[in-house]
Amino acid sequence: MPKLLERVTSSGKFLPFIDGLRFVSILGVVLFHFFNYYHARVYSFTLEQEEIIKKFTTTGFFGVMLFFGISGFILGMPFLKYYVYDGKKVKIRDYLLRRVTRLEPPYIIVLTLLFMLSLVAGTKGGFTELLPHYIASLFYSHNAIYDGFPVLSDVLWSLEVEIQFYLLAPLLALVFRFNKVTRRIILLLLILFYTHYIRSYIDPFAFKSIFKYVEYFLAGFLAVDLYLDYKDHLKPHFIFDIICVYLLLSAWIKIDDYIPLSFKVFGIIAATPFSILWKKILSLKWITIIGGMCYTIYMLHQRILYLVLGNFSPNKLIVDQLWLDALIRFLIYLFSLILICSIFFIFIERPTMKRKWWKYKSLKKLFFE
């Protein structure tokens, strides 16, 4: 079973710490939505309790921004290798085809399931009302058309931003054609510029778009540039563990507001490969497996939360102690989430990770090897 839940990498090269960082990202998002649901449907926290909860659950935004940074790291790597390290040329046609064949099938299946479930539940309108939202999400344009979270699932908004980055990545990656010092200064200035000026004073688009979040993708670009330059020369050191833990706590529970979130994302991604204990923790098998399933978990977790806890748990405390009640419900939800997402991952997402999966004649090889 663990083998069937392992990510299939298109390049054949696997970086465990990246899936470990994906685990951190998806954990933040899952906790955020769980406690929001708990607060809205089960128990209204006191102001003191709410302040405590917020310190540990305002991680949804950070989790998504870390996802964006990881995307910049992963997609920037082949372009950087080509422009700087005489690597294989990135053919745009193959690049785009890979994105479509890898991401579209799971997304379309999930979107269609959400559409059908919404019709059956009848809580979001009928066929006539939901069809335009379904079509808009199908073409990753719901943010632009409706200027609001996708009706079928709030979390799909970030996937629309991701797609915009995938399309612009080859253009943005031209920065790697500059020499080392120049490209790093450009990336650093762009991150600073977007963090402190663009998002604060210029807003050409009312809807959520890559324009509002591009600094996080660029942070991933800068991190991968440093990684490929120093991975064979810089020895791991505990100082990088301290940096990673501090930045994670800083982003997670907001122990300081002095470091912009984009730089926290950059620092975590850039320092992790050179850490010792932190990297070992992120590389644990069960962490990399869950992190490798992050796409499936991200798309399904909110709906599974509503289906499981909404239908099979009362809207009142089942035990007298608040924290114990929340823990019991979270464990029930977590078990259901991992079970359902594992099945979906094995039979839907994992096969699409294989190159030219549609040409497989053996279902056994497609699903179980």
Task: Find the mean pLDDT for residues 132-139.
Answer: 96
Task: Find the mean pLDDT for residues 205-210.
Answer: 77
CA dist 193 and 337 (Å) reads 39
Average confidence score pLDDT of the chain = 90
* Alpha carbons within 13 A on the beta-carbon side of 300: 27
pLDDT for the residue numbered 369:
78
End-to-end CA distance of the chain: 11
Look up the domain containing 83 and give its range.
3-368
201 or 61, higher pLDDT: 61
Give residue-wise pLDDT tens across range 1-55.
Answer: 678 888 887 665 789 999 999 999 999 999 999 988 887 777 676 666 776 676 6
> Scanning the structure block, which residue is given the tokens 């009312």?
206
CA dist 66 and 64 (Å) reads 5
CA dist 208 and 159 (Å) reads 11
**What backbone torsions phi and psi does residue 255 show, to the nearest 5 degrees?**
-80, -10
C-alpha distance from residue 347 to each of 150, 219, 336 (Å) = 26, 33, 17
pLDDT for the residue numbered 177:
96
Of 122, 123, 121, 148, give the one whose Cα is nearest residue 133.
148
324 or 186, higher pLDDT: 186
Task: Find the mean pLDDT for residues 290-315.
Answer: 90
CA dist 99 and 121 (Å) reads 32
Are 88 and 235 in contact by the 8 Å Cβ rule? The answer is: no
Compute the Cα dihedral for 210, 191, 260, 279 and give only its sign: positive
CA dist 326 and 317 (Å) reads 9
Task: Write down the pTM of the prediction.
Answer: 0.93
Q: Which of 210-219, 243-252, 263-272 tops mean pLDDT?
A: 263-272
The first and second tokens of residue 108, run together, are 């379309």
Give residue-wise pLDDT tens across range 267-290.
Answer: 999 999 999 999 999 999 999 999
Are 281 and 287 in contact by the 8 Å Cβ rule? The answer is: yes
pLDDT for the residue numbered 208:
84
Give residue-wise pLDDT tens across range 66-88.
Answer: 999 999 999 999 999 999 999 99
| DSSP state, residue 233 | T
Q: Is the pLDDT of residue 204 over 60?
A: no
Report the domain count for the chain: 1
CA triple 45-329-336, angle to 5 deg: 140
